[in-house]
Chains A and B, each alone.
Chain A
């Protein structure tokens, strides 16, 4: 991790992790939809901060502009448009779905956490091609990413643009049509 200013980046990163986890729990348990949306926005901002601390500046910017900007505006706008009145909590504490879902999610999280712990204990990190020095020599994170994207992944880039056009047409058709 590159430490440009004299700040303890691992402390900052860990506190952003805690904030994101707490806000995610708030999103799961909040009563009204707008509270959920705003805490989800907080999770996205904290994740963008973690990207920035890992010195992935391009991904952090995309996270802020596309996720915390565009997608959250869509969510908040449709909450406003539909005017959903959910002032009661809709989680049914005694249902079978609640008990089985929570137990299975906790068990899966335990398994993943155990596997991660084992991986990080025995891990011998194999350094790849893009070390900090090489990224600096190429002219920064964004430039290195652009060189990689437009050389070896350019077909994928075109396919994604096609997918965007298709989804644009689909959204317009779906929003205009009236189903009986």
Chain B
């Protein structure tokens, strides 16, 4: 049981590190990486819980989450390319045109 507890603690830690990355960093690529880190942490938690309870539904959920994460990162990076083209930088502060 101790191993499962450590894995769950690691999953929570990784999730909050990803959240902090989204909060604190100004570079859009690193912000996207933070989102992926949060998805990865949730996957870890799902797999460990369903392994602990001898189920398979967690692994199936992880299968779909990974597929959607791949699609999401593809679309996100093409949005990033467009952002860089129109603003000339990859910082979040340069997207301030709608600021009142």
B37 and A126 contact, CB distance less than 8 A: no
Name the interface residues of B41-74: CB closer than 8 Å to any CB of A: 43-44, 47-48, 50-57, 59-60, 62-64, 66-74
B13 and A128 contact, CB distance less than 8 A: no
A44 and B40 contact, CB distance less than 8 A: yes
**Contact residues of B: prevailing secondary structure:** helix
CA distance A59 to B43 in the complex (A): 10
A167 and B3 contact, CB distance less than 8 A: no
- The residues of B that contact A128 with a CB separation of less than 8 Å are 50, 53-55
- The residues of A that contact B16 with a CB separation of less than 8 Å are 105-106, 108-109
- The residues of A that contact B21 with a CB separation of less than 8 Å are 27-28
CA distance A20 to B85 in the complex (A): 34
**Contact residues of A: prevailing secondary structure:** helix
* Interface magnitude class on chain A: 35 or more
B77 and A91 contact, CB distance less than 8 A: no
Q: A78 is contacted by which of B2, B50, B77 (Cβ under 8 Å)?
A: B77
A21 and B66 contact, CB distance less than 8 A: no
A125 and B6 contact, CB distance less than 8 A: no
Kindly report which residue of chain A lies nearest to residue B73, judged by CB atoms.
A71
A174 and B82 contact, CB distance less than 8 A: yes
Q: B25 is contacted by which of A67, A70, A90, A163 (Cβ under 8 Å)?
A: A90
CA distance A76 to B44 in the complex (A): 23
Q: A79 is contacted by which of B19, B29, B48, B53 (Cβ under 8 Å)?
A: B29
CA distance A74 to B23 in the complex (A): 22
Encoded as 1 (CB less than 8 Å from any B CB) or 0, chain A from 162 to 179 comes to 011001101100110111
- The residues of A that contact B12 with a CB separation of less than 8 Å are 109, 112-113, 116
A126 and B53 contact, CB distance less than 8 A: yes
CB distance from B62 to the nearest CB of A (A): 6
B75 and A178 contact, CB distance less than 8 A: no
Task: Check if B1 is an interface residue, CB within 8 A of chain A.
Answer: yes
B59 and A56 contact, CB distance less than 8 A: yes
CA distance A109 to B43 in the complex (A): 17
CB distance from B35 to the nearest CB of A (A): 11
A24 and B44 contact, CB distance less than 8 A: no
Name the interface residues of A107-130: CB closer than 8 Å to any CB of B: 108-109, 112-113, 116-117, 120, 123, 125-130
Kindly report which residue of chain A lies nearest to residue B12, judged by CB atoms.
A112
A54 and B47 contact, CB distance less than 8 A: yes
Task: Check if A81 is an interface residue, CB within 8 A of chain B.
Answer: yes
Across the A-B interface, give the 10 residue pairs with the lowest CB-CB distance, nearest first: A167-B71, A101-B23, A128-B55, A128-B54, A90-B26, A174-B78, A175-B78, A17-B10, A24-B17, A112-B12
